[in-house]
């Protein structure tokens, strides 16, 4: 049932305020994070953490890995499952391995989970589908509460994964007795309302999409957490609209990709992390100097002169911007696909769950 929406993808994008609230429900009590499912883990036993996933779940993991590393000071590695399973990863009894999968049935992720268990790791699955294989095979499971995701392009599963991974990062930090960012914990509950507000701005993103409809290529840039966001933005755009999109760490532009920028190229830049925004902005200016048209998703205080389009995200702590900025990126991809007449719910060559290698 599409509940009056034209497509499942749009319905699922609009469900995000609700499912994010569901994913948070009962998990923050008196400023403390409560993940009862993990009660019997002693996190002091671990000396490193792996995140393993595919596609969108990998992008959520990239974000989760940065947040976890900062919060716990443990070394964290995020890797795609198809690489992990064949690269003899350095996993042992002191490793915590976190597997992220919406469906819980992705073949590479399941094989990677089996390998990590064989090597003695403690494994946690972050899954959406109740009773899925991953949730049965892992030592522990935490569910995102996104509800059924029908559209092939993942949207609400991604943002709920981000929410749960941020909760998990600070839960582990809390259990290790590390300092906790109380402002962040407090603001988590405000995220559904902010997402709702961004969704009301949908016509702005529809206009941005018009810049992309006749292009073959689009370039996404960001640094730090914003890099995970642009990887996901580029994946969303290419899978539903077939516009070739690549995401680059903004600092890598000069090391090659800037050769591609010419008059009329479109660059979608994300600059939400204050410690690094000025650097990304200088990269944006370099692309503009070569004729790029820029769509900038940023926060107030990071104004850039002469940028054709700037969208200001609400003022929340930087880590939580990863959740908010996903919404404009999803809508830009969605509207580009619609303008081009693509079958957004069932993009060519893709399956909802990749159960073969």
Please say which residue, 65 or 283, places its beta carbon nearer to ligand M6R.
65
Q: Is 57 in the site for ligand M6R (CB under 6 A)?
A: yes
Shortest distance, position 157 Cβ to ligand M6R, whole Å: 6
Please say which residue, 55 or 89, places its beta carbon nearer to ligand M6R.
55
51 vs 87, 97, 111, 290, CA distance in Å? 14, 6, 14, 38
Please say which residue, 38 or 326, places its beta carbon nearer to ligand M6R.
326
Q: How far apart are CA 82 and CA 111, in angstroms?
A: 9
352 catalytic residue (yes or no): yes
Shortest distance, position 252 Cβ to ligand M6R, whole Å: 23
Q: Is 56 in the site for ligand M6R (CB under 6 A)?
A: yes
Write out the DSSP string of 156-217: HHHHHHHHHHHHHHHHHHHHTT----HHHHHHHTTHHHHHHHHHHTHHHHHHHHHTTTT-SE
Q: Is 298 in the site for ligand M6R (CB under 6 A)?
A: no
Q: Is 126 in the site for ligand M6R (CB under 6 A)?
A: no
Residue 163 main-chain phi, psi, to 5 deg: -60, -45
Shortest distance, position 58 Cβ to ligand M6R, whole Å: 7
Beta bridge partners of 301: none
Q: Is 152 in the site for ligand M6R (CB under 6 A)?
A: yes
> What 3-state DSSP class applies to 298?
strand
> What 3-state DSSP class applies to 340?
coil
From the list 17, 55, 89, 233, which residue makes contact with ligand M6R (rule: CB under 6 A)? Answer: 55
Please say which residue, 235 or 284, places its beta carbon nearer to ligand M6R.
235
Shortest distance, position 52 Cβ to ligand M6R, whole Å: 10
Residue 95 main-chain phi, psi, to 5 deg: -105, 135
**Per-residue contact string for residues 73-112; x = within reach of ligand M6R by CB under 6 A:** ----------------------------xxx--x--x---
Please say which residue, 24 or 153, places its beta carbon nearer to ligand M6R.
153
Q: Is 353 in the site for ligand M6R (CB under 6 A)?
A: yes
Please say which residue, 60 or 270, places its beta carbon nearer to ligand M6R.
60
Please say which residue, 13 or 54, places its beta carbon nearer to ligand M6R.
54
Cβ 157 vs Cβ 102: under 8 Å: yes
Q: How far apart are CA 53 and CA 144, in angstroms?
A: 15
Q: How far apart are CA 247 and CA 232, in angstroms?
A: 8
Shortest distance, position 239 Cβ to ligand M6R, whole Å: 6
Residue with tokens 């582990």: 172
Question: Virtual CA dihedral for 146, 165, 355, 333, nearest 10 degrees?
Answer: 70
Q: Which position among 238, 340, 346, 352 bears the catalytic label?
A: 352
From the list 33, 49, 52, 54, which residue makes contact with ligand M6R (rule: CB under 6 A)? Answer: 54
| Range 237-266, binding ligand M6R (CB under 6 A) | 239
Q: Is 354 in the site for ligand M6R (CB under 6 A)?
A: yes
Q: How far apart are CA 335 and CA 205, in angstroms?
A: 8
Which of 143, 142, 156, 162 shows the shortest CA–CA distance to 66?
A: 162
Residue nearest to ligand M6R (CB): 55
Which of 179, 130, 175, 163 shows the shortest CA–CA distance to 40?
A: 175
- Max CA separation in the chain (angstroms): 58
Q: Which stretch binds ligand M6R (CB under 6 A): 173-181, 211-219, 328-336, 348-356?
A: 348-356
Which of 199, 234, 265 shows the shortest CA–CA distance to 336?
A: 234
**Per-residue contact string for residues 9-38; x = within reach of ligand M6R by CB under 6 A:** ------------------------------
Residues of the shown chain interacting with ligand M6R in the complex, contacts defined by CB under 6 A: 54-57, 101-103, 106, 109, 152-154, 239, 350, 353-354
Active site residues: 352
């Amino acid at each position: 049932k599409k509940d009056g929406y034209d497509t499942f993808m749009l319905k699922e994008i609009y469900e995000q305020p609700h499912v994010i609230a569901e994913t948070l429900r009962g998990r923050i009590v008196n400023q403390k994070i409560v993940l009862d499912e993990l009660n019997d883990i002693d996190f002091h036993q671990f000396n490193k953490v792996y995140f393993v996933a595919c596609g969108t779940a990998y992008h959520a993991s990239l974000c989760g890995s940065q947040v976890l590393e900062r919060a716990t000071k443990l070394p964290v590695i995020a890797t795609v499952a198809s690489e992990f399973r064949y690269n003899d990863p350095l996993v042992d009894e002191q490793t915590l391995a976190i597997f992220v999968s919406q469906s819980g049935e992705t073949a590479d992720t399941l094989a990677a989970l089996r390998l990590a268990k064989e090597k003695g790791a403690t494994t946690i699955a972050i899954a959406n589908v109740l009773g899925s294989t991953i949730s049965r095979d892992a030592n522990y499971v935490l569910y995102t509460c996104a509800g059924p995701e029908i559209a092939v392009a993942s949207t609400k599963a991604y943002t709920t994964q981000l929410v749960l991974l941020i909760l998990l990062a600070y839960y582990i930090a809390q259990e290790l007795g590390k300092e906790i960012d109380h402002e962040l914990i407090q603001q988590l509950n405000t995220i559904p309302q902010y997402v709702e507000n961004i969704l009301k701005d949908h016509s702005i993103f529809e206009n941005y999409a018009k810049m992309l409809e006749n292009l073959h290529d689009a370039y996404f840039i960001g640094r730090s957490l914003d890099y995970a966001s642009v990887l996901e933005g580029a994946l969303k755009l290419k899978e539903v609209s077939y516009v070739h999109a690549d995401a680059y760490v903004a600092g890598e532009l000069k090391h090659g990709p800037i050769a591609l920028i010419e008059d009329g190229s479109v660059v979608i830049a994300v600059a939400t992390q204050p410690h690094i925004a000025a650097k990304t902005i200088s990269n944006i200016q370099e692309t503009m100097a070569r004729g790029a048209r820029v769509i900038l998703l940023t926060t107030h205080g990071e104004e850039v002169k002469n940028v054709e389009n700037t969208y200001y995200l609400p003022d929340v702590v930087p880590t939580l911007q990863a959740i908010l900025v996903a919404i404009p990126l999803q809508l830009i991809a969605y509207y580009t696909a619609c303008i081009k007449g693509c079958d957004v719910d069932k993009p060519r060559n893709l399956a909802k769950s990749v159960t073969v290698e």
